[in-house]
Amino acid sequence: MSARYEELKSLKNLGQKYAYTDREVMLYAYGIGLGADPMDENELAFVNEGTLTPRPLKVVPTFASVAAWGSGPGEMNLNRVMVVDGERDITFHQPLPVAANITADSSVLEVFDKGKDKGVVIVHQTVLKNEKGEKLATLVASRFARGDGGFGGPSLTQPDPHKIPSRSPDRTIDITTRPDQALVYRLCGDRNPLHSDPEFARKAGFPRPILHGMCTYGITCRGVLQTYADYDASAFRQHVARFSSPVYPGETVTMDLWKDGNVISFEAKVKSRGVTVIKNGKTVLG
């Protein structure tokens, strides 16, 4: 085994402490576009706690992706400009509370070296736990480092992604993003200048700043919430998506959805550019 492979594979960081309040919960919901219609009571439940008629604030399931922002297995020493999200898979063990003190245990699961000039895929896991030590969510992230790779390691094949049904979609919805959406979403934690600095975006090969992949991921969660979950955040058991192309803030994301029992398959595209931005999506409801 190469020393670089062993270095990455051994990364682990346990007992990282975080806390969040309803402010972060509402900011995330607004960051993925909920509340765009200030009279929509279904969406207001995620961004407003109610006053004259009090109601419990709801937590978007994928808030788990930012609840412990900054947690991870350790420094990977990658070329930051060339790193993009590959895939995200979150398993929800119980509904997230509106405010909490939590811990995060992170470790690298596997490293797939695609070879010199082809990059490397690093898969790592973070388990979020409440103060009692009970699991709240398990996040598995796939990170594609386009500027690294070729250091050797075992010859491994990545698992096949979720297969989308071959029939026509059962439902199709359009979700509009705002031109300033990346500037709002970055306040949830991800300050990568790729999403806010035009000069940095051009250096990375994009004509202008792109929307965070994890914001698009949250948008797909929102799509399932408003269609097959009836805005019930507690119904989510798993949400998986593979990132295939970036969204530019202001574009409309079109989601195709298929329902088979408690499994919702989905893909998302930007029709105006003819690109698919999310592939092999899967939500398990229960």
Report the C-alpha dihedral over residues 192, 194, 199, 205, rounded to 10 degrees: 140
What pLDDT sits at residue 120?
87
Active site residue 22: no
Q: Are strands 83-92 and 171-176 parallel, antiparallel or unpaired?
A: unpaired
What pLDDT sits at residue 81?
67
Active site residue 212: no
Tokens of 285: 């409801």
What pLDDT sits at residue 281?
98
Q: Is 263 buried (19+), middle (13-18) or exposed (0-12) by CB count in 10 A?
A: middle
Tokens of 150: 């070729």
What pLDDT sits at residue 80?
73
Give 78's contacts (C-beta < 8 A, 6+ positions apart). Answer: 143, 145, 147, 148
**Local confidence pLDDT in tens for the 286 residues of the chain:** 588 889 999 999 999 999 999 999 999 999 999 999 999 999 999 999 888 998 899 999 999 999 999 999 999 988 776 777 789 999 999 999 999 999 999 999 999 988 887 888 999 999 999 999 999 999 999 988 877 877 877 767 788 999 999 999 999 999 999 999 999 999 999 999 999 999 999 998 999 999 999 999 999 999 999 999 999 999 999 999 999 999 999 999 999 999 999 999 999 999 999 999 999 999 999 9
Question: What is the crossing angle of helices 213-227 and 22-31, to 10°?
Answer: 90
Select which of 105, 113, 195, 239 is catalytic. Answer: 195
**Whole-prediction pTM value?**
0.94
Tokens of 137: 């969510």
Query: CA angle, corner 188, sides to 185 and 189, nearest 5?
Result: 115
Inter-residue contact 126 to 104 (CB < 8 Å): yes
What pLDDT sits at residue 169?
98
Domains of the chain listed by start with CATH number: 3-13+71-145 (3.10.129.10), 171-285 (3.10.129.10)
Select which of 85, 148, 190, 256 is catalytic. Answer: 190
- End-to-end CA distance of the chain, in Å? 42
